[in-house]
């Protein structure tokens, strides 16, 4: 059993938790993930390690409340326990030798982008962070990004905060002005990563995309995170989650990501109905 040390709502649909898991905290690196179960009857879900404290043994996870399992997790309180917390899993993000990198994050994907930006910064890299959200109410981790970024761009679709537009606007402007990067690392919705890859491909800038958003059980057995990279079949959870963004078939990945929509909707409804009955 793993104790919840801290719980904080970052916005109406995104929650931060710190979990007491010293063995994971000791080993976890940026880009890796864990698999958890809320209780002994729960499903396994993968969540990226958003941060860890080797001294206290705390591991930070940030999750969006979108399905039955994340709803159940969000109902837990500080001091309570979750059943399983296994990791770290996945290949860490490559940061060695990089001197100048743009980190592009979107929505809750910023929770995955932050530890990458932080690790690069701590490694002496010049970091340009570009983050995007639909509106001001959904903004998360702004101050944390600023603390590890040499340049920081905040974008919102509706212009309610930062600059109006998507993350490709400042990225394109930088590249067109002659700015160079050793690498661009992008993490967020599939459609966002697709257009980041299209933008950087024109300038032949190496680009890495984290395919965490399509992972389901985190072991490769379900096949839900199967994707085509350079004409070869890969699995995000066991072969990644980072891949060359210019080689990913994003259209195929987006189509597959909608496969479980009806199942997830039914699971959410069943969980809500059960929760209401228990409250009554």
- Domain annotation for the chain: domains and CATH numbers: 2-89 (2.40.30.10)
**Residue 120 reports pLDDT greater than 80:** yes
C-alpha distances in angstroms, 188 versus 171, 185, 193, 278? 15, 10, 6, 35
Strand 183-187: give its sheet, edge to edge: 163-164, 151-156, 126-133, 100-106, 183-187, 207-210, 242-244
**Cα–Cα distance, 241 to 88 (Å, whole number):** 13
Give the closest residue to 16 by CA, choosing from 44, 57, 53, 48. Answer: 48
Q: Which of 35-49, 222-236, 265-279 ranks highest by mean pLDDT?
A: 35-49
106: how many CB neighbours lie within 10 A of its CB? 25
8 Å CB contact between 245 and 208: yes
User: In this structure, are residues 16 and 115 in contact, taking their beta carbons and an 8 Å threshold?
Assistant: no
Percent of the chain with pLDDT over 70: 86
Peptide linkage before 126 cis (omega within 30 of 0): no
Rounded to whole angstroms, how far apart are CA atoms 114 and 109?
Answer: 9
Pick the range with the lowest mean pLDDT from 38-42, 222-226, 230-234.
Answer: 222-226
| β-sheet bridge partners, residue 128 | 102, 151
Note the pLDDT of residue 238.
Answer: 75
Residue 27: its pLDDT value, please? 93
* Model confidence at 265: pLDDT above 60: no
Can you tell me the mean pLDDT for 125-145? 95
Q: In the prediction, which pLDDT does 215 show?
A: 61
Q: Which residue has the higher pLDDT, 165 or 91?
A: 165
């Amino acid at each position: 059993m793993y104790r919840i040390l801290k719980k904080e709502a970052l916005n109406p649909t995104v929650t931060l938790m710190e979990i007491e898991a010293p063995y994971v905290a000791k080993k976890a690196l940026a880009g890796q993930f864990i698999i958890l179960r809320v209780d002994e009857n729960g499903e396994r879900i993968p969540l990226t390690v958003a941060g860890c404290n080797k001294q206290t043994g705390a591991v930070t996870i940030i999750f969006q409340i979108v399905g039955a399992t994340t709803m159940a997790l969000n109902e837990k309180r500080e001091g309570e326990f979750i059943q399983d917390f296994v990791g770290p899993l996945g290949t860490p993000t490559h940061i060695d030798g990089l001197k100048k990198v743009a980190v592009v994050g979107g929505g809750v994907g910023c929770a995955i982008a932050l530890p990458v930006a932080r690790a690069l910064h701590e490694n002496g890299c010049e970091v340009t962070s570009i983050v995007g959200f639909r509106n001001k109410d959904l903004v998360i981790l702004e101050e944390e990004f600023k603390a590890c970024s040499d340049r920081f761009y905040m974008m919102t679709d509706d212009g309610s905060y930062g600059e109006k537009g998507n993350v490709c606007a400042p990225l394109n402007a930088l590249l067109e002005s002659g700015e160079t990067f050793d690498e661009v690392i992008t993490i967020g919705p599939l459609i966002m990563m697709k257009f980041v890859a299209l933008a950087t491909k024109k300038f032949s800038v190496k680009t890495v995309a984290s395919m965490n958003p399509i992972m389901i059980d985190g072991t490769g057995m379900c096949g839900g995170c199967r994707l085509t990279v350079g004409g070869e079949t890969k699995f995000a959870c066991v072969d990644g989650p980072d891949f060359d963004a210019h080689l990913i078939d994003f259209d195929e990945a987006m189509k597959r990501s909608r496969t479980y929509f009806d199942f997830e909707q039914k699971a959410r409804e069943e969980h809500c109905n059960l929760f209401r009955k228990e409250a009554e």
